């Protein structure tokens, strides 16, 4: 459908998802680029992969484009890896929940999907209780946090919830839906992360999972300066260069309450 739609000149697929005549090739390149990185890294030990993919992918559903996304770039590569019997953890730090990724992979016990995202915000999915749903209970880990959340609580969620779950899941590959729209300078959402927060998270992940089996796939991020600086910080972190100091911004009390609620639900399945 997407191919035919683009051949006819494109247009609006929904209220915020547009395609042009060239979008078909761009979308194939974005999805194929992530898989190409998997193939490139298979025989390497000295690199980390970053796919500068546009259009993004984590909202795309099996039968529908959505939220700027035409194909689900991360899910395509996860399915490829699963076809070979490999275990995959998908970590989604975009400010929006990756509803398409969750829908496609939630029933597969060999895929772990973890999302930290802004609560009560587009696409209005990604609830804590989803960990109980589907056939692979415990493998969908959502941490919805309120608007105003900054790096202090976000880092704590990453260190105390995300990384321990990944470590226990023992994935062969980690695919990161690396949206940078949770940055304080990105006006499309209400989180207040700074560029160094992304570097800190990457460095922390690198202590428990090899960088050469980690792939970053660009999702959201609409302030170009913040996007550039955050990407730079994340890649430095993946090589073990962690930013000095803690996050300079502070979250509202409601963020810590949301963290605790998520921790209680996750703790029924994982040691956190």
Long-range contacts made by residues 39-46, C-beta under 8 angstroms, separation at least 24?
41/212, 41/213, 41/215, 44/212, 45/210, 45/212, 46/212
* Distance separating alpha carbons of residues 178 and 111, to the nearest angstrom: 17
User: Helix or strand or coil: residue 82?
Assistant: helix
- Nearest CA to 181 out of 118, 58, 95, 117 is that of 95
Which residues have CB under 8 Å from 133's CB, separation 6+? 106, 140
Strands 173-178 and 214-218: parallel
- Nearest CA to 262 out of 175, 180, 140 is that of 140
* Catalytic entry in 58, 59, 117, 183: 59
- 34 φψ region: left (φ > 0), alpha (ψ -120 to 50), beta (else): alpha
Active site residue 59: yes
User: Helix or strand or coil: residue 178?
Assistant: strand
- Pair 227, 265: CB distance under 8 Å: no
- Active-site residues, by number, are 59
């Amino acid at each position: 459908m997407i191919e035919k739609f683009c051949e006819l000149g494109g247009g609006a697929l929904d209220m915020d998802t547009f395609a042009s005549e060239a979008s078909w090739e761009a979308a194939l390149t974005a999805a194929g680029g992530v898989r190409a990185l998997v193939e490139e890294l298979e025989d390497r030990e000295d690199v980390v992969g970053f796919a500068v993919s546009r259009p993004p992918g984590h909202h795309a559903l099996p039968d529908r484009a959505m939220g700027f996304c035409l194909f689900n770039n991360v899910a395509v590569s996860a399915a490829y890896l699963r076809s070979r019997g490999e275990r995959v953890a998908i970590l989604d730090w975009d400010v929006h929940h990756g509803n398409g990724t969750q829908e496609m992979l939630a029933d597969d016990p060999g895929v772990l999907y973890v999302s930290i995202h802004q609560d009560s915000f587009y696409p209005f999915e990604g609830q804590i209780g989803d960990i109980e749903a589907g056939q692979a209970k415990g493998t969908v880990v959502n941490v919805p946090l309120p608007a105003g959340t900054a790096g202090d609580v976000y880092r704590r969620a990453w260190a105390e919830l995300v990384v321990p779950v990944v470590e226990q899941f023992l994935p062969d590959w980690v695919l990161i839906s690396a949206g940078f729209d949770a940055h304080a300078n990105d006006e499309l959402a209400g989180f207040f992360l700074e560029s160094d927060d992304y570097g800190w998270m990457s460095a922390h992940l690198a202590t428990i999972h090899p960088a050469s089996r980690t792939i970053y796939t660009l999702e959201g991020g609409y302030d170009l300066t913040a996007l550039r600086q955050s990407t730079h910080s994340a890649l430095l972190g993946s090589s073990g260069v962690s930013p000095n100091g803690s996050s300079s911004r502070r979250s509202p009390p409601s963020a810590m309450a949301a963290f605790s609620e998520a921790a209680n639900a996750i703790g029924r399945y994982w040691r956190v």
